[in-house]
A = this chain, B = another copy of it.
């Protein structure tokens, strides 16, 4: 197989080829690096990568396999991680000159878990400034004149451009689902607390999530199998028995899912193409889909998320911003000032409101719906690089900590992708992956 073709494989396919000996990790890693070298000057997906270090990891993986030792589910597969995630072998600069040259001594838990599963860490993908709104250098590989979205800009672009089959991003508001939608890839924001955030720049303990970007639902499941689980260093992870996400994702009972088409209070802010595409989608899904209106009080979710995010980010990053001075954007300094004005009772009221909303929506999943279906973003990626687009279609699900998946199943103007977002019951990530595969089958068969 030509190296170019190797880079186009999914992570599952790569893992199979490497496991069977049809290709070496060095082959697939070199193919990915060639792809990066070829288009990085246009896409700018990476904050840093190191060809020789990546190839050395790949050769080590090949030697390990040849020795007959047991291998993990991602053995030899090239993976990239967002540059707010600590790595012992690459700088981690969090998209800000205020952390220029920062070199962590240890891998974040998620990186350690990727390595334990056999992954080759090829580099660090561009983040917006401290994973907030100020864009980095990344372009959208579907249309270089458009934003890739953010804050996981480089993560989405790297997977969309075929540079790596799998990459890890983060979401506090809409930073996984939105860029994946704009770049036309699959991605998942797992349930809050499923993936440890130890060793990752903390924005907001209540809202921060890590999750995978890939080119298929199965690859998202494969990644979760590697990175999910209890970590004593992340107090929001839980000691629960592990579940085989990939196996569950691939189950096909032949049962139609029951999808609740939820327009949310921001529906009117989706563009006309997107609204029309979703109305058609709902019709096409027939009796697998029913319209569900959230109670009016869910409109509180947007200001509640804002209060929690601003306050927790001011708590976590205020001193870094103060010290960074004019290395930090006005927009970021403004957020710190906003967060410092939030009162403790406003904050606690917002956290309590989120808990009430989550409790109520659990009833929907228990009684009527397999998953919620709703847009991943207001439309296709906006033109220009001054903004990363609007996370409003992600805010509610981040606040509630529900698992969400975006799938590049619709398109708008110029054939640019519009993501279909599925949202599941809290903690039921495996079932959501299975439902996502069922929806892909229904819409592409």
Contacts and interface: CB of A to CB of B under 8 A. Distances in A.
A375 interface: no
A312 interface: yes
Interface string A15-33: 0000000000000000000
Copies of this polypeptide in the complex: 2
A315 B348 CA distance: 7
A72 B272 CA distance: 65
Contacts of A342: 343-345
Contact of A339 (B314, B340, B345): B345
Nearest to A314: B345
Contacts of A311: 344-345, 348
Contacts of A307: 344
A347 interface: yes
Contact of A340 (B314, B341, B345): B345
Contacts of A312: 344, 348
A352 interface: yes
Interface string A342-384: 1111111100100000000000000000000000000000000
A417 interface: no
A165 interface: no
- Which of A312, A339, A344, A352 gathers the greatest number of chain B CB atoms within 10 Å? A344
Contact of A318 (B339, B341, B345, B347): B345
A3 B340 CA distance: 63
A347 B205 CA distance: 14
Contacts of A344: 307, 311-312, 314-315, 339, 342-344, 346-347
A204 to B, nearest CB: 10
Nearest to A350: B344
Interface in A302-353: 307, 311-312, 314-315, 318, 339-349, 352
Contacts of A340: 343, 345
10 contacts: A311-B344, A315-B344, A318-B345, A339-B344, A339-B345, A342-B343, A342-B344, A343-B343, A344-B346, A344-B347
Given A311-B344, A347-B347, 4 more contacts: A311-B345, A311-B348, A315-B344, A342-B345
